[in-house]
Structures are given as C-alpha cells and as structure tokens.
C-alpha cells in the first residue's frame, strides 16, 4: 500500500519570504501522480500543483514550485514571495494511475506572519 509522510506538523514564514514544505512517499508503482492541496479554514480543498512521475521537469505554478526526486521518493513544495492568503493546511497526496483514489499525508499547517 502507498503511504505519504509529511514530517513537519507546522511551519511559519514571514510575508514575502520563501518556505519549503516536505513530503516523502512510498510506492512500488513506477507511474503515478503527486499533488499538493491547500485547505484553508473554510475546509475547501484546493489543488495547488500536480506532478506526473514520468516527467523529469519539476512542476511550477506561479509562486509555487516543487522539487520532485523520484529515486528518493521525495516531493517538496516551495512557496516564494509568501502572502498572508497562503496561510492554510497543506496536504501532499499520491495517486496511482489505475484508480482515482488519493492517499494523503498528515498535513502541514503554514502560518504567514506580516
């Protein structure tokens, strides 16, 4: 079974600074997808960024980028120029290619200080 581990229960960053959230996973599959989701207090889960395992190039979405290390099974999220609106719970998630089931990590609470 696949597992996803987020070892940082909480992180904090100053506004306009950069922060990196860590995620490791375990799988025996060679092809899969990885995601970072943001969950604000409203509980609405919002997709931040996705990475296909077969792509060597790291995904980037505006201020959000990932460092995908397939051999190390590591998938970190870098948030540049942090904004107050980035404050939320962030979840790393894994999905195989056969079914749509997402396996989530435990989450990291991100606090952004003005």
Partner 1 sequence: EAGVAQSPRYKIIEKRQSVAFWCNPISGHATLYWYQQILGQGPKLLIQFQNNGVVDDSQLPKDRFSAERLKGVDSTLKIQPAKLEDSAVYLCASSFRQGGDEQFFGPGTRLTVL
**Residue of 16, 18, 83, 101 interacting with partner 1 (CB under 8 A):** 101
Q: Least separation, in Å, of the C-beta of 12 and partner 1? A: 18
User: Is 64 one of the binding residues for partner 1 (CB under 8 A)?
Assistant: no
Secondary structure, 3-state, 56-99: CCCCEECCEEEEEECCCCEEEEEECCCCHHHCEEEEEEEEECCC
What is the total count of residues that contact partner 1 (CB under 8 A)? Answer: 22
Give CA–CA dist 67/69, Å, rounded.
6
User: Is 99 one of the binding residues for partner 1 (CB under 8 A)?
Assistant: yes
What residues line the site for partner 1 (CB under 8 A)?
4, 33, 42-47, 50, 91, 93, 97-107
């Amino acid at each position: 079974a696949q597992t996803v581990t987020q070892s940082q229960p909480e992180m904090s960053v100053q506004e306009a600074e950069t922060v990196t959230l860590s995620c490791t996973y375990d799988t025996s599959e060679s092809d899969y997808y990885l995601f970072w989701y943001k969950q604000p207090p409203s509980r609405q889960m919002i997709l931040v960024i996705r990475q296909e395992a077969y792509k060597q190039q790291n995904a980037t979405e505006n201020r959000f980028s990932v460092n995908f290390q397939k051999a190390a099974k590591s998938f970190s999220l870098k948030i540049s120029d942090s904004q107050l609106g980035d404050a939320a719970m962030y979840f790393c998630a894994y999905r195989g290619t056969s079914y749509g089931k997402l396996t989530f990590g435990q989450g990291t609470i991100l606090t952004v200080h003005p």
